[in-house]
């Protein structure tokens, strides 16, 4: 089993996972499906970071609690999505790890070689 690290590239548009298909995954997953997965996770990571109205609420006592709750909801949505993809791609020996394991600096993908 090997682990592939997919880095996050940050720019003015936000954080984006690298969308190019790693060579180790060629033939195991289509480039379109890989791009769909990385775009979804990138979108959710950006949504997690851009909680502007929560910054406005942080003045109020409940701001930090609301932020934690919203982060939890987004993390849970990412987790559900990756769980579905992990089930679908288990025959190919691919397992996606949640980006929170890397403190949102990237995402790990485990590949099993049969």
pTM of the model: 0.84
Cα–Cα distance between 33 and 15 in angstroms, integer? Answer: 19
Contacts with 22 (C-beta within 8 Å, 6 or more apart), sequence order: 4, 6, 109
Residue 11 has pLDDT above 90, yes or no: no
Q: How far is CA 34 from CA 14, 23, 25, 95, 98, in A?
A: 19, 12, 9, 12, 15
Kindly report, residue by residue over 33-50, the tens digit of the pLDDT: 999 999 999 999 998 888
**Average pLDDT, stretch 59-73?**
77
Give tens-digit pLDDT for 71-91: 899 999 999 999 999 999 999
Contacts of residue 110, defined as CB under 8 A and 6 or more positions apart, other chains included, come to 1, 2, 3, 4, 94, 95, 97
Q: What is the mean pLDDT of the chain?
A: 87
């Amino acid at each position: 089993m090997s682990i592939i690290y997919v880095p996050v590239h940050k720019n003015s548009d936000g954080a984006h996972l690298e969308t190019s298909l790693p060579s180790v995954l060629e033939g195991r997953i289509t480039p379109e499906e890989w791009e769909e997965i990385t775009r979804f996770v990138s979108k959710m990571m950006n949504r997690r970071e851009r909680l502007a109205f929560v910054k406005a609420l942080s003045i109020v006592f409940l701001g930090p609690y609301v932020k934690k709750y919203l982060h939890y909801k987004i993390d849970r949505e990412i987790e559900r999505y990756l769980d579905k993809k992990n089930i679908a791609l288990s025959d190919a020996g691919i397992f996606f790890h949640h980006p929170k394991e890397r403190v949102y600096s990237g995402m790990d993908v485990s590949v099993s070689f049969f």
